[in-house]
Amino acid sequence: MHSIRSTLAAVVGLGPLLVAAQLSGSVGPLTSISAKNSTKNCNVLDYGAVADNSTDLGTPLTDAFDDCKDGGVVYIPPGSYAMSTWVDLSGGNAWALQMDGIIYRTGTDGGNMIYIEHSTDFELFSSTSAGAMQGFGYEFHIDDNWDGPRLLRLYDVSDFSVHDIALTDSPSFHFSMDTCTNGEIYNMAIRGADAGGTDGIDVWSNNIWIHDIEVTNKDECVTVKSPSKNILVEDIYCNWSGGCAMGSLGSDTNVSDIVYRNIYTWSSNQMYMIKSNGGNGTVENVVLENFIGHGNAYSLYIDSYWSSMAVVAGDGVTLNNITFTGWTGTEADGAERGPIDVTCSDTNPCTDITIEDFAMWTESGDYQWYKCESGYGTGACLESGDDYVSYTTTSTVTAAPSGYSAATMASDLTAAFGTTNYIPIPTIPTSFFPGATPISPLCRGEGSC
């Protein structure tokens, strides 16, 4: 529980670039787990739950929550629990959900298996770092059905944390945070299918700290959507994933003060992508720092004409004051997809874009390219000045830049998990970025929760 962790604690060591894009205040629950336990403990076994991987957990979990929602801990002990009906846990205050067991999806409804809304001072965690949800998404995907439930969704939750749990093979998105404030998400492993529609973490919220997360899927790794402000994302391991992104961005976009740092991306769609197609509104004050990539299709990628979304009315989302710094590693094929692709709106060019300390090289062939379209700022193929007219520039690079060599991770996957077979529940790793120790120790005998 990290309610005392403040803006200054989050910013220590991040350097002057990040001062303008820091968290806006403290994050995490306001009351300790021990204090909540001393108020009340609601063990789901006392409400009819049975750890037999057959009896539905839905009603016992809801009943336990009803008794502890005004202060206490809803406890799911170690064991295997079936869930065939989904739960909407609404209105809690000063409560926690301790998920030490494993929840297996047995129902087939859409929606959200666990939906937590209108709560404050909340914590979802496993004291053993072994609690998990298994969505068996392959049972949907084998029939080309991508409309199954999400595993976990938070809406209008404040002063909260989610940590030390694993989310596996969701039929749809794994974890989303909508209109939340003052949250901390950390020490998690998310593993999904090798296909679109399997987002790891999606957030559109205010003052959220996301760190020490591993994601395997083939869609978003950790993605900021609109509206969002004061989001800090660091020490992220996109291990055979879609990669981190911002968007899709459309009408009335409102995103500001966003920092991603220490992001490791292995064999993924991109290292970072800002995606839109028309629309309006603003993205500003963004820093993308210390990225390592290997074997990814795209690397640094802004696409204001993203063809995978329908065109939205408007002259394009305004992108202003975005800095890419400290990028190293290799891309899969720099001749096919160059490591820098900045495609801004011709009717609303990007401004104040900075690309610096960038050293990447191709794993295939002997050259790569940089492309800039209607982007203004400094570095790479960006144009300077304030005329802000449309242009397109492509430059070819035939020599490897100095300093591009970068570390790899011991747990880098050699293949995806596919879409039609069982995906095993992962163990939460103890490192999420080369050479980095998790900011908070895992609960399993190494820390206290």
The model's pLDDT over 230-239, given as tens digits with 9 standing for 90+, comes to: 999 999 999 9
SS3 292: strand
Cα dihedral 102, 108, 112, 116 sign = negative
pLDDT in tens, 228-283: 999 999 999 999 999 999 999 999 999 999 999 999 999 999 999 999 999 999 99
Tokens 């949800």 map to which residue? 133
- In SS3 terms, 145-213 reads as CCCCCEEEEEEEEEEEEEEEEEEECCCCCCEEEEEEEEEEEEEEEEECCCCCCCCCEEEEEEEEEEEEE
Half-sphere exposure of 228 (CA within 13 A, CB side): 32
Q: Is the peptide bond before 227 cis (omega within 30 degrees of 0)?
A: yes
CB 340 within 8 A of CB 371: yes
In this prediction, residue 445 has a pLDDT band, given cuts at 50, 70 and 90, of: low
**Number of other residues whose CB lies within 10 A of the CB of residue 300:** 25
> Measured between alpha carbons, how far is 229 from 242 in angstroms, rounded to an integer?
23
pLDDT in tens, 289-309: 999 999 999 999 999 999 999
pLDDT over threshold 90, residue 6: no
pLDDT over threshold 90, residue 17: no
CB 157 within 8 A of CB 116: yes
Catalytic residue among 199, 219, 257, 341: 219
How far apart, in Å, are the Cα atoms of 34 and each of 41, 62, 71, 96?
10, 22, 12, 11
> Measured between alpha carbons, how far is 359 from 70 in angstroms, rounded to an integer?
53
The average confidence (pLDDT) of the chain is 94
Q: How much is the average pLDDT of 181-208?
A: 97
Instruction: Kindly state the percentage of the chain with pLDDT values over 70.
Output: 94
Beta strands in 35-174 (DSSP E): 41-43, 72-76, 80-83, 87-90, 93-99, 102-105, 112-125, 131-134, 150-168
Tokens 């899709």 map to which residue? 248
Bridge partners (DSSP) listed for residue 120:
93, 158
Domain ranges of the chain: 1-218, 220-415
Residue type, 228: S
- Give the per-residue pLDDT at 13: 38
Query: Is the whole-model pTM more than 0.85?
Result: yes
SS3 429: coil
The torsion of the CA quartet 423, 437, 102, 59, rounded to 10 degrees, works out to -120
Cα dihedral 373, 326, 297, 269 sign = negative
Q: For residue 159, indicate whether it is catalytic.
A: no
SS3 54: coil
Q: Which two tokens stand for residue 275?
A: 């995606």
Tokens 């005004």 map to which residue? 70
Q: How much is the average pLDDT of 133-154?
A: 96
pLDDT over threshold 60, residue 425: yes
How far apart, in Å, are the Cα atoms of 443 and each of 125, 131, 187, 283?
9, 11, 9, 36
Catalytic residue among 2, 294, 303, 341: 294
Query: Is 220-415 in the same CATH topology as 1-218?
Result: yes
> Measured between alpha carbons, how far is 85 from 107 in angstroms, rounded to an integer?
6
Is the domain covering 1-218 a CATH 2.160.20.10 domain? Answer: yes
- Give the per-residue pLDDT at 47: 98
DSSP one-letter code for 311: P
Q: Which two tokens stand for residue 16?
A: 């002057």
pLDDT in tens, 73-125: 999 999 999 999 999 999 999 999 999 999 999 999 999 999 999 999 999 99
What CATH architecture applies to the domain 220-415? Answer: 3 Solenoid (2.160)
- Give the per-residue pLDDT at 448: 62
User: Exposure pattern of 246-281 as b/e (b: 16+ CB <10 Å)?
Assistant: bbbbbeebebbbbbbbbbbbbbbbbbbbbbbbbbbb
Q: How much is the average pLDDT of 395-406?
A: 97
Pairing of strands 350-362, 112-125: unpaired
Residue type, 23: L
pLDDT in tens, 325-360: 999 999 999 999 999 999 999 999 999 999 999 999
- Give the per-residue pLDDT at 449: 73
- Give the per-residue pLDDT at 446: 53
> Measured between alpha carbons, how far is 134 from 126 in angstroms, rounded to an integer?
15
Q: For residue 118, indicate whether it is catalytic.
A: no
